[in-house]
Structures are given as structure tokens and as C-alpha cells.
Structure 1
Amino acid sequence: MELFDLWAGQYQLDSQIFGAITLANQRLSEAAAVMDEATESQVPGGVDGAVVRWRDEPGVAGFWGFGLWLPKRGGPPQPTAFVDQALAPVEGRPVATDEETVSRMRALGMTFDPMSIGLWMVGRGSPTPQHCAPGQTVTVPGRSATLGCRVTLSNGRVAISTAGHGARTTNLIADVAGTRIGRVAHSVCPQTQTPGTPCADIALIALDRNHQEGAHRAFQAYQATSAGDDLLVNVPAGTQQAWARAVLPTLWLNRTCGAWANVIETDHHVSVQGDSGSTVEVGTTVGHPTGHVVAGDAVRTVIQDLDYQLGWFNAAIRP
């Protein structure tokens, strides 16, 4: 499910706003590729030259991504540029009041008028991948992440999900608390993608045939996250409650790798270092998985859509 499309339909978003946000994210993808290809001795002229000036700033030229943000729960969404926290306050302000940001957007090839679509900018820290510590986690050599939901692979093998950035290499043995459970069958994450490439962040561990699974949450059908939905975030410390405050078609980690596609952010942070791969459910009762934790910072937890993630490898939820 493309969550940005869902939210846009939910609020009957004006086509001009929809087009502007789509264009802005496309331009960031192009800028990341330009920055990667240009060297200090080969700085291009024109627009590309302007882009390369900001190659060392957070995200892509100081931007994490463009999307929709709810200033108040239940209120209309605000078209928003998510920028480095040095450029704007957490609760935001109109982009039109900041000449530097407007000029930077123009240099990046964002040809729309920020004032005409009511674009805001909100400050965010780096969306740090939430790596895990051993003991509560699935571990592969050198990395670890929280176990997610039970799935069936396209070849019929039973498997379990986790964060792609915690299990980046396929065929490695995965264990929990020192006991082997299987091997990494599939993995994808922004850190393994070329600059300018949005992607999923998920790994699927094919369980050994003699592995006995323990107790698990009884998941039902996937349900997409709509604006303002209640969320249950199942981190190792216990289930946390939050609500869906923003949606971003693309969220950039930095210019040197890929980006998370199809993500939402919560109204406050409910994850800590160690929670990537945790399952997230829609509503106030268990049973409807919607995504996995992939990142977070001091003010938000970042969740990627489950349907989008599983679609990368044609996997399916199993009860």
C-alpha cells in the first residue's frame, strides 16, 4: 500500500500539492545521485554545481524528505518539508518565511511555489536506524535486530522477519540467545542501495526445519495506517502506544546510500536503540499488523509499511 496515496485520498488532497510533494522527492533522489557521482575536482556547473555545494549537509542537502504532517490530531494535514533540525523548529514554520530554504529548493529543481501550496518545514534529527543489543534479538555475525512477524516465503518455507539493516547479508546463520534458528534468506535496506534509490528495510530469516517456534502474537490481516490512527508498537521493553502523525513517500538517511520508502512517523518517540524490526499494529487491540520499526530520533519513531516490505520478496504473513 502506498501510504502517501492513502492519506492524500483520505483528505482529498489538492492535485497541485500532491504533484509538488512527488516532484520534491524525485528531485532529492536525483540530487543524491549527482552528489555521489561528482568529485571535488569535477564539480559540475549550473544546477548540478549548486547541488554539490550541500553534499556534506545532513540528509540530502539538508532535507530528509517531503510529505504530509498533522499539526494537530484530527486536523487537516500540512504539506511539509522535513529538514535538518538546525534549519527549523520541531513544530515547524512556513517555508516561505525562510529565504535560504526557498532558494535551496529552487536550486534543486523544485519549480513549484512553496507559498501557493502552504508548504511548512519541520526540524528533525537524523533518522537513526534502531540497531539492537544481543539478548532480546536475532543476531547474525556483526549485527543484530528485533524479531518481527511470522511469514511464508515465496517458495513455501516458513520464516520470520526482522530489520534489513540488522541482517544485511543473505545466507548467514541467525541465532537467538546463542541458539541457531535459521539463515537469512532475503535482505534489503537503504545502506546496501546506491544513492538515490528508495527501498524497503527488511530481512526474512528462513527457519530451520527442526526449529520449534515459541509463543507469538496472533496476527490477522495486514491493515494500512491512515492519518491519525492509533498504533501499538511492540518493542522489546513492552508494547508502546502512539499515533500516526506524518507520512513520507521517501525518507533519506544520507546522500551516500538509498532511502526508506513508504514510511510514517509517530507523534512521539516510542523506540530506542535496539528496536528495529519490531512489529507495529493498527488500533488499540492486537491483531492487525501494519509495519516494522526501522528508525527513530528524539521526537519520533519511523515505521515502514509492512505490505510494501513483504512485496519486495513476494512473502506473506502467516498466522
Structure 2
Amino acid sequence: MFTDCSSSTTSRLIHLNSLNGAFLPRPCFGQLSLRTTASTWRCTLSIRSSSSPSAIVINGKAEAKNIRDDIKIEVSRMKESIGVVPGLAVILVGKNKESATYVRNKKKACDSVGIKSFEVHLAEDSSEEEVLKSVSGFNDDPSVHGILVQLPLPSHMDEQSILNAVSIEKDVDGFHPLNIGGLAMRGREPLFLPCTPKGCIELLHRYKIDIIGKRAVVLGRSNIVGMPAALLLQREDATVTIIHSRTINPEEITRQADIIIAAVGQPNMVRGSWIKPGAVVIDVGIKRVEDPSAAHGYRWVGDVCYEEASKVASAITPVPGGVGPMTIAMLLSNTFTSAKRFHNFQ
């Protein structure tokens, strides 16, 4: 159980536009505790008094809408100019509720900008060969410009072999090893960037947050978010540290960061005491936590204790409404880019 982070914080948060793009550091205070105990998992209100300044809300939902609006205009222009509509295919295996929700949201987003969506839903006990057959069919379909295999896959399937089967020219998720390799090597350019890390960096850019020369900490080293996020920050000339399950003193390391990207899937793991005053916090995590006081009996919680962090950071993404909408916006952007590349459309 996680103690509530008061929703009243939202009313005290200041949007960046009201500060005319200012990014103001705050004075340092207090001491860092390096002890991690069971009590640190409870999200408390102990960092600053309610009269203290609050962080700028990095509004991913609003920025994603702006991106979708731009894509909709460009998709319409492509259709009128050359008669082509970008197409995105999604392969869903099994009955994972979260995965099904993500697929519905992606289809809805495609519809909103005029991208045609294709979907294959296979049973949980489907063979790996059936999935590979669907991938192959979409690889050969000229009306499909992007292919997304919804993760996680059932445990009996080899995730890497399936992801590797996606044509690199249609790998709009950016997970193909050749795309990741291009991201990792200086002087190389991948065809696509992974959507969630790309969305994180895009938010930093849109909020005019300096990255060059800054200390950045990424919590988590997954192939989907943590590792590519670290590579992207490095490309932006940040000095990057990755924290993982074997890291000693993660609090101490995180507190040195000017920019934090949290992607570990542990609700409220990053406390206010982990954050250097004035740091920017991008919270990728999202978990459903039971909460009898909430309207639906649960609430969504990120990796960062929002109530505490918003009193220490200079800017922070909310959960939900932060990184999630940007991930889908980047998927649409990658799909449109793929269609442009296929048809040499300028």
C-alpha cells in the first residue's frame, strides 16, 4: 500500500508558459539520507511546507495534441498530393489488459490524424511461427509503413527473434538491433528512435530545458526505455549515469542529477530526498495502485513520489498526462516519417 499523494498539488503547480519559458534553479537545502527502508515506499508530504514554490508541470498531454494536430495536417497534404495514406500495423498476442488498452489508444490516435490502422490479435497460446507469419505479411504489404509488436509477448515466445523479424524500414518502435546500433554509434543515424525515450527528449526540448553539459540520471536499463534514453541524452551532450538493480547508493547518485528520467516500474520509488533542488524530473513509470477513496477504486502512480518531488524539482511530468501521450505521438510521427521515406514525399 502506498500513502496518498494529495491531488491538491495540481492546483498549485505553475505551467511553463506563465513563466515565459524561464527555467529557474532553486537553492539547495537539507541533507541526503542514504538509507532505504520500508518506510521510504510510502509517499509522504515531508519535503517542504505547502507554502513552498511548486514545480512547473510538463504537460505531455497538451504537447502531444500539438504534435498530433501537425501530423494530421501533413497526412492530409500527403493524401491530397500523392494519394497515399500512412499505415500502422499492430500485432497483439494474448489478453493482457494493459496491452489491449494501449492498442486501443494507438488505434484511436491513428484515427484522429488520418493514419490507417491494421490490427492482428492472436491467442495467448499462439505459436511463435504464427506471430512471425503476421510480421512477414505486414513487411510485404506496401500499404503498411510501420509495424508494432505489442509487448510483453507470452513467455513461450522469443521476443528478440520476433522483433528482429520486423523490417528495419518499418520498425517504428525503434527496437530493431540495427536501429539501436545506429543510435549507439557516433556518426550514425538510426531510421527510427524508440518512441518513449524520443518523447522524453522532445518534452525537454519543447520546454526549453538545457541538456548540454548537464548531469543526467536514468533509472532503469531496459531495452525499451532506460538504455535508449541514456543513449539519447548522451547524444544531446549530457553526462549520463544509469542506475539499475545492482547500483550502490542510488539516492546519492540521483541527487547529483540536473535531469532525472525514471523508468523502473516501481511506484513512488524516487522520493523527494532523492532529488536535487531545481532538477527536472521525467517520470516514465505508471502503475495502477488500489485506492478505495478514488472514484474507480484505484489510481495511477509513477516511479516518482509526485507530491514530494513537485516541491523540490523545478519541472516535472505528471502521471498520467506526462510521458504516456508523448509516446503515442512519437509513434504517429515515426509512422508518418516512414511513409514519407517510402514515397519520397517532401
Q: Could you state the TM-score of these two structures normalised by the residue count of structure 1?
A: 0.28
Which has the higher Rg, Structure 1 or Structure 2? 2
